[in-house]
Amino acid sequence: MVKIDLRVNGESRAVDVDPRTSLLDLLRERLGLTGAKKGCDHGQCGACTVLIDGRRANACLALAVAQDGAEVTTVEGLADGDALHPVQDAFLDRDAFQCGYCTPGQLCSAVGMLAEHGPSAVTGDLEHDPELTDAEIRERMSGNLCRCGAYVNIVAAVREVVA
């Protein structure tokens, strides 16, 4: 067992973990934060997306021991008390979910994506930060799959926050 210290949703946590434990398993099984979902457990679906030091990451692929000293934000930490994060409000306004299984990962990914800068694979002008068009949003959110196909509303929700 290895002792690690990290901040999860603004709260300091000191935990002993097996070095083989994924961040996802630590969050769900040891800390009781079940918002991040175990979808594929191979980093392919994005249901487990969280923010590590403000950057998007698949928690199923991140070892917990590697997060010693990190700030981890899960979907449970996006809201400020009863005030939802603007992305959460937009998802509700635009009905950007159906079954809801992917929604926590989609929300964390959208929050992280909005903080990113620079070109993507669909950016035409590589010398300037691109405008977040629908094509840019779709490309940047492409690591998060939705089995129900709510992509149109997800893009609309992200676009609403950008506006």
Residues 155, 134 contacting (CB under 8 angstroms): yes
Q: What's the pLDDT tens digit per position in 127-157?
A: 888 889 999 999 999 999 999 999 999 999 9
CA distances (Å), origin 11, targets 19, 48, 71, 72, 150: 22, 20, 9, 9, 33
Q: Which tokens in the block code for residue 55? A: 């950057």
Cα angle vertex 21, ends 18, 27, to 5°? 115
pLDDT of residue 128: 80
pLDDT tens profile 23-39: 999 999 999 999 999 99
This prediction's pTM: 0.94
- 14: its two tokens: 């000191």
Q: What is the pLDDT of residue 125?
A: 85
Instruction: Reply yes or no on whether the pLDDT at 17 is more than 90.
Output: yes
Q: Domains of the chain, with CATH numbers?
A: 2-77 (3.10.20.30), 86-162 (1.10.150.120)
**Could you tell me which of 104, 89, 56, 75 has the C-alpha nearest to residue 158?**
89
What is the reported pLDDT for 126?
85
SS3 of 149, please? coil
Burial status of residue 76 (CB atoms within 10 A of its CB: 0-12, 13-18, 19 or more): middle
Q: Which helix (H) or strand (E) is 2 found in, with range?
A: strand 2-8
pLDDT at residue number 130 = 85
Query: Could you tell me the pLDDT band of residue 119, with boundaries at 50, 70 and 90?
Result: confident
How confident is the model over 63-110, as pLDDT tens digits?
Answer: 999 999 999 999 999 999 999 999 999 999 999 999 999 999 999 999
